[in-house]
């Protein structure tokens, strides 16, 4: 978060505040304090209650262990330190599922964002007619919730129902070898249009004059796209990439739905499915520890990605 202090907006605000201080007293009176409270408090209260408190509860719960007095004695929760985390790190199924979603993401995210970028560039170029139609057609799957998309594609993959029998009779897309990529296709299908639209909106906001010099020099659409447009939509690409990384590690609805189509999808197929399965045993303390580890992993991965892309950007 430190970066925000160095951005122009924040800097400008700081300068203004500085001037204010120098001009009058050291501590300026806040104007309209009650209005500020009225504006901020409703959100702040809900944010604390439904974001910060749950996180605190999860961390606390993950430190507890259940102790029983004798076989039939009453169960009590006592503080157990990092015992649950030790179990998390010994849990092979969990780490297998983490590796699985990482492999999934390494393939699916670049494919999806590559397609989204290609479509956005084509929509922004003069090569395409009927832009409005294509925009709507490509975006339509985003209106399909993950569960519903998984149900639809589950049927489409099923050998006896599929309209693509020529394919599904040759390859069983629901078998252990293919089902991960069958799910990847569902996620791609739903989200390509959404990412395309974020990138496309960014392209629309670029002033036309920027392209003029390039055109005078005789650059074609491909060259303009490569040398001007792609560098300019970098922030949008970084944003969509981070959102996709978060989404990948949190995969739940699609694989959970696929369990009724494919026995290859186990109850611990993705990390979130492990958390759900563990919490319904119920072993809430272990599930809480899984949650904390997964949330941290997600946070670290998206943050690292941001750092890497930022450094690369600065070197250009």
Partner 1 sequence: MSTAIGSDATSASPAVNPKGEARSGGAPASGRGPRESLLSRGGAMLVMAIFTLYFLVPIWWLLVASSKDRGQLFSTNPLWFADFKLFENIANLFAYRDGVYLKWLLNSLLYAGLGAVVATLLASMCGYALAKYRFPGRETIFNVVLGGVLVPATALALPLFLLFSRVQLTDTFWAVFLPSVVSPFGVYLSRVFAEASVPDELLEASRLDGAGELRTFFTVSIRLMFPALVTVFLFQFVTIWNNFFLPLIMLRSEELFPVTYGLYAWNSTINQFPELRTFVLVGSLLSIIPLIITFLLLQRYWRTGLGSGSLK
* Distance spanning both ends of the chain, measured CA to CA: 23
Q: How far is the CB of 25 from partner 1 (least distance, A)?
A: 14
Residue closer to partner 1, measured from CB, 61 or 91: 61
Residue among 69 and 209 whose Cβ is closer to partner 1: 209
181, 192, 196, 231 from 238: Cα distances, Å: 24, 15, 13, 11
Sign of CA pseudo-dihedral 306, 313, 118, 103: negative
Instruction: Report the b/e string of 247-258 with b at 16+ CB within 10 A.
Output: bbbebbbbbbbb
Query: What is the C-alpha separation between 174 and 154, in angstroms, rounded?
Result: 8
Distance in Å, CB of 71 to partner 1, minimum: 26
Q: In degrees, to the nearest 5, what angle opens at C-alpha 248 toward C-alphas 246 and 251?
A: 110
Q: Which residue number, 107 or 206, has a Cβ lying nearer to partner 1? A: 206
Q: The tokens of 83 are what? A: 């015992």
- In whole angstroms, the minimum distance from the beta carbon of 83 to partner 1 comes to 18
Give least dist CB 54 to partner 1, A. Answer: 3
Instruction: Count the residues in the chain.
Output: 316
Nearer to partner 1, 107 or 234 (CB): 234
Q: Which is nearer to partner 1, 180 or 248 (CB)?
A: 248
Q: In angstroms, what is the minimal distance from the CB of 177 to partner 1?
A: 22
- Among residues 69 and 159, whose Cβ is nearest to partner 1? 159
What single string gives the DSSP state of each residue in 111-134?
HHHHHHHHHHHHHHSTT-S-HHHH
* Vertex 229: Cα angle to 223 and 233 (nearest 5): 150
Name the minimum Å distance from CB 121 to partner 1.
Answer: 10
């Amino acid at each position: 978060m430190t970066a925000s202090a160095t951005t122009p907006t924040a800097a400008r605000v700081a300068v203004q505040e500085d001037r204010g201080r120098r001009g009058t007293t050291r501590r300026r009176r806040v104007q309209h304090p009650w209005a500020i409270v009225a504006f901020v408090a409703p959100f702040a209260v809900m944010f604390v209650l439904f974001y910060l408190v749950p996180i605190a509860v999860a961390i606390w719960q993950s430190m507890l262990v259940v102790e029983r007095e004798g076989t039939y004695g009453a169960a009590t929760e006592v503080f157990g330190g990092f015992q649950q985390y030790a179990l998390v790190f010994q849990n092979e199924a969990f780490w297998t599922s983490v590796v699985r979603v990482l492999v999934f993401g390494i393939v699916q995210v670049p494919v999806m964002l590559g397609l989204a970028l290609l479509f956005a560039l084509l929509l922004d170029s003069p090569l395409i007619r009927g832009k409005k139609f294509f925009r709507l057609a490509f975006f339509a799957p985003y209106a399909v919730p993950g569960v519903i998309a998984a149900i639809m594609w589950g049927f489409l993959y099923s050998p006896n129902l599929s309209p693509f029998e020529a394919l599904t009779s040759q390859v069983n897309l629901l078998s252990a070898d293919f089902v991960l990529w069958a799910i990847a296709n569902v996620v791609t299908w739903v989200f390509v249009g959404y990412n395309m639209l974020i990138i496309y909106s960014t392209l629309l906001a670029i002033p036309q004059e920027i392209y003029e010099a390039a055109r005078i020099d005789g650059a074609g659409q491909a060259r303009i796209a490569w040398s001007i447009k792609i560098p300019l939509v970098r922030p949008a690409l970084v944003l969509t990439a981070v959102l996709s990384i978060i989404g990948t590690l949190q995969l739940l609805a699609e694989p959970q739905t696929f369990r009724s189509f494919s026995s290859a999808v186990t109850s611990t197929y993705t990390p979130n499915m492990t958390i759900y399965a563990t919490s319904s045993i119920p072993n809430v303390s272990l599930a809480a520890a899984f949650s904390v580890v997964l949330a941290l992993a997600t946070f670290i991965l998206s943050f690292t990605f941001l750092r890497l892309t930022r450094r690369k950007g600065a070197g250009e």
